[in-house]
Amino acid sequence: MIRIGIVGGTGYTGVELLRLLAQHPDADLRAITSRTEAGLLVSAMFPSLRRHARIANLTFSAPDDGALHACDVVFFATPHGVAMAQAPALLEAGVKVIDLAADFRLKDPAVFAQWYGMAHTQTGLLAEAVYGLPEVNRAAIRTARLVGLPGCYPTSVQLGLLPVLEANLVDCQTLIANCASGVSGAGRKAEIGTLLAEAADNFKAYGVAGHRHAPEITQGLTAIAGRSVQIQFVPHLVPMIRGIHATLYARVLPTAREVDFQALYEARFANEPFVDVMPPGSTPETRSVRASNMVRIAVHRPAGTDLLIVLVVEDNLVKGAAGQAVQVMNLLFGLEETAGLTQLPILP
């Protein structure tokens, strides 16, 4: 059994980690921390977890009570800046660290400071950290001790463009990502923009002038392509709780006009347990992946154009966060990659 700790278990990604790990055959939940809720039964805050054998007696503890150092792996489901403060001591104690926030995503500390408004205090660890997108970095993740998990939007965009960038089939300077997310992507906090009366019956763009996921997307796509990449990323808020829908546009290079892109995507993801390439003509829906770790992709090539359109859907709290974190944990400890992640999506 893997001894597991969670730092910051009161948010949406924290409770999603609990839901998934409670059903994981090799997970032993040892500690879950919260400064404000120390001593409270986890099931008292989240009644959805009541009467589960692994969680029934689990209580929130103070972050400094020492229990985390006795774990094999610690997940950080915290605001940005927390993991880089606590990770060094945990790593020194031999604990593996998976950060669901942004502390170890961006390789350039100056870029991190620009977008997250704080200096990076662990630049040495930043260089060591592995970017936790299994479909790209599976081998490196297996031998890592520190993993920075991708953001939800960057996961959908990178997976959607992965095959054509690897094969150098599209113009890397004119990429467009038009993405929409449910309100849970903003976290479990009181904020005017995510109030029911503000978000319901509404559709809006935000971060058009610049979003903190943009440099992460560019960094990831550049690494995949092996050359400079320019992408215009525009996120939108939609009145639903879970889900991301990414519509990606790429111009096909003249030398690639005869490529069968459907076949390309099917071949690239044939052995990926959590990427489903839909049949030709499909338009995947966010509800088709709700509460699952699955990503569904559809490839379109409008007749008479040089445009490739890729549609990607994922659950932002699962494959976009907690589920991908569990997938990474499975790789770190040599388990089946799908362990604890075989839940089917829920409908309606």
Active site residue 152: yes
pTM of model > 0.85: yes
Residue 229: what pLDDT?
Answer: 98
Q: Are residues 20 and 87 in the same domain?
A: yes
Give CA–CA dist 107/109, Å, rounded: 6
Q: Are residues 193 and 268 in the same domain?
A: yes
β-pairing, 27-33 with 2-7?
parallel
The tally of domains found in the chain comes to 2
**Is 21 contained in some domain?**
yes
Q: Are residues 17 and 77 in the same domain?
A: yes
**Is 135 contained in some domain?**
no
Per the listing, tokens 């879950």 go with 32
Taking Cα atoms as reference points, which of 211, 31, 8 lies closest to residue 100? 8
Q: Which of 112, 128, 144 is the last residue of a domain?
A: 128
Q: To which H or E segment does residue 111 belong? A: helix 109-116
Q: Are residues 119 and 157 in the same domain?
A: no
Query: Can you say how many angstroms the Cα of residue 189 is from the centroid of all Cα atoms in its chain?
Result: 19
Q: Are residues 82 and 186 in the same domain?
A: no
CATH number of the domain encompassing residue 189: 3.30.360.10
Q: Are residues 89 and 194 in the same domain?
A: no
Q: Are residues 159 and 289 in the same domain?
A: yes
pLDDT tens per residue, the chain (348 residues)? 999 999 998 999 999 999 999 999 999 999 999 888 999 999 999 999 998 888 888 999 988 767 999 999 999 999 999 999 999 999 999 999 999 999 999 999 999 999 999 999 999 999 999 999 999 999 999 999 999 999 999 999 999 999 999 999 999 999 999 999 999 999 888 889 899 899 999 999 999 999 999 999 999 999 999 999 999 999 999 999 999 999 999 999 999 999 999 999 999 999 999 999 999 999 999 999 999 999 999 999 999 899 999 999 999 999 999 999 999 999 999 999 999 999 999 999
Taking Cα atoms as reference points, which of 125, 117, 124, 166 lies closest to residue 148? 125
**Is 337 contained in some domain?**
no
Q: Are residues 172 and 293 in the same domain?
A: yes
Range of the domain at 176: 153-315
Per the CB < 8 A criterion, the answer to whether 204 and 239 are in contact is: no
- Which positions ≥6 away from 285 have C-beta within 8 Å? 313
| Burial of 6 per CB tally in 10 Å (0-12, 13-18, 19+) | buried
Q: Are residues 111 and 163 in the same domain?
A: no
**Is 301 contained in some domain?**
yes
| Burial of 127 per CB tally in 10 Å (0-12, 13-18, 19+) | exposed
Give CA–CA dist 270/29, Å, rounded: 33
CATH number of the domain encompassing residue 111: 3.40.50.720
Q: Are residues 92 and 226 in the same domain?
A: no
**Is 341 contained in some domain?**
no
Give CA–CA dist 44/293, Å, rounded: 26
Q: Are residues 176 and 115 in the same domain?
A: no
Taking Cα atoms as reference points, which of 340, 240, 238 lies closest to residue 290? 240
Residue 308: what pLDDT?
Answer: 98
Per the CB < 8 A criterion, the answer to whether 158 and 224 are in contact is: yes
Number of residues in the chain: 348
Residue 155: what pLDDT?
Answer: 98
Q: Residues 71, 152, 172, 179: which is the catalytic one?
A: 152
Q: Are residues 169 and 215 in the same domain?
A: yes
Residue 218: what pLDDT?
Answer: 98
Residue 341: what pLDDT?
Answer: 98
**Is 142 contained in some domain?**
no
